[in-house]
Chain A
């Protein structure tokens, strides 16, 4: 089974430029997440999709970040204009809810991430 695919793996841009990251989740996974991981910290949720609808985007800086999942499969995260503090790894993850011992527990699968450096 193919894993979560992300591209590009690395991107270097200057501040105020724009960048876009792409993610293709595991086939059949309805839920897709974008996380921002700053060096030395745990991932921070930016946005969560269920199929093509947004479930949670409360921590997405909407003045500069946008994301879409138009057909409920792959997704794009865009930053425009980029700031120095946006330098981080952008992780995409997907999950498929699985029933375990009477409760619902969705296993979370991550891609390799896209490392962004803003100069």
Chain B
């Protein structure tokens, strides 16, 4: 069964600190992996997308890694800001890229 797990479920971090969110997946055949940011009351917005051959991809203070062998991905946030408070959802695309498997998300709270 295609499945995406995320950890931790929730995280509190002080402004300016770094943090790393984890995503493990069992999705076959793998097409690509995305990290989405979802602010409270808003729709998810894509942060990064990674295909099988990519190990690392950055988007500003967000850096995603992918290990296709262990089927793990991480999202590293550098120098967190209050605006980083949101849910971060890992989404793995199966098959030809139109079948999306969602993780439950990690709820991040950045405090001053």
A55 and B5 CA atoms in complex are apart in Å by: 25
* Partner pick for B97 among A33, A41, A48, A105, CB 8 A cutoff: A105
Residues of A within 8 A of B46 (CB): 107-109
* Partner pick for B43 among A4, A42, A55, A107, CB 8 A cutoff: A4
A87 at the B interface (CB under 8 A): no
A91 and B52 CA atoms in complex are apart in Å by: 28
Q: Which residues of A contact B (CB under 8 A)?
A: 4, 31, 33, 40-45, 48, 50, 55-56, 91, 93, 95, 97, 100-101, 103-113, 115
- Contact between A45 and B43 (Cβ–Cβ < 8 Å)? no
> Number of contacts between A and B (CB, 8 Å)?
69
Q: Which residues of B contact A (CB under 8 A)?
A: 4, 31-32, 34, 36, 41-46, 49, 51-53, 89, 91, 93, 96-100, 102-105, 107
Dominant secondary structure of chain A at its interface with chain B: strand
Chain A to chain B contacts (Cβ below 8 Å), 22 pairs: A4-B43, A42-B104, A42-B105, A43-B102, A44-B102, A48-B98, A91-B43, A91-B44, A95-B98, A97-B96, A103-B32, A103-B51, A105-B31, A106-B98, A108-B34, A110-B36, A110-B43, A110-B44, A110-B45, A112-B42, A113-B43, A115-B41
Give the distance to chain A from B40, nearest Cβ to Cβ, in Å. 10
- Contact between A104 and B97 (Cβ–Cβ < 8 Å)? yes
Residues of B within 8 A of A108 (CB): 34, 46, 91, 100
- Contact between A104 and B102 (Cβ–Cβ < 8 Å)? no
Q: In the complex, which of the residues A43, A48, A104, A107 has the most CB atoms of chain B within 10 Å of its own CB atom?
A: A43
